[in-house]
Structures are given as C-alpha cells and as structure tokens.
Amino acid sequence: MEGNGSPFEFPCDIPVKVFGRNDPAFRDAVLAIARRHFPELDVDDVTTRPSRQDHYLSMTLTVWAESRGQIDALYAELSRHEVVLMVL
C-alpha cells in the first residue's frame, strides 16, 4: 500500500465502474468526463453492459492512472454529474 492510503501502486490500470440510464446522453457524458482526466482513453478501454430490461447501463472504464489524485478527480466529477447514478 502506498503512503497515500491507496491499495494501488501507481502508475497502474484501474477499472472504474459507472452506472446510469441506458441512453446516449449518459454514455457521452461519461466518456467526455473520462477523457478530460485521461485523454488517452480508447474505446477498447471501455466495456458496457445493459441491465436485464435494458433500462440501465454499466460502463467499465479501465484507465492508466499516474496518481490517486487523478482517480479522485475523475470519481468526483463523475459523481457530481446529473446523469450518473453511481460510481464504483
């Protein structure tokens, strides 16, 4: 564990799961936010999974994080956005 309280040793790949309604506005917002913090994020780094009845969508973004601060900033911005229901 690093001295910053994180179980990760940076730099490293970190998966970030984001949940919201299954519509283009959610997907677009999540990708725009993620690319502000991780400009190198590629479509191959993103997986999506709809809910059973297709009302909700989970997106898993695998990002190469240089520091805990970078991840914290991403989580904070995602959590504040109105189309995001949950971030893990």
Domain that holds residue 37: 19-87
| pLDDT tens string 36-84 | 999 999 999 999 999 999 999 999 999 999 999 999 999 999 999 999 9
Asked whether residue 47 is domain-assigned, the answer is yes
pTM attached to this predicted model: 0.90
Number of domains present in the structure of the chain: 1
Residue 15 CB-density burial (10 A; 0-12 exposed, 13-18 middle, 19+ buried): exposed
Residue 25 falls within a domain, yes or no?
A: yes
Q: Does 40 map to a domain?
A: yes
Looking at the domain assignment, is residue 13 inside a domain? no
Q: What size, in residues, is the chain?
A: 88
Query: Is there a domain that residue 33 lies in?
Result: yes
Cα 54 from Cα 88, distance rounded (Å) = 20
Q: Does residue 12 lie in a domain region?
A: no
CB 35 within 8 A of CB 74: no
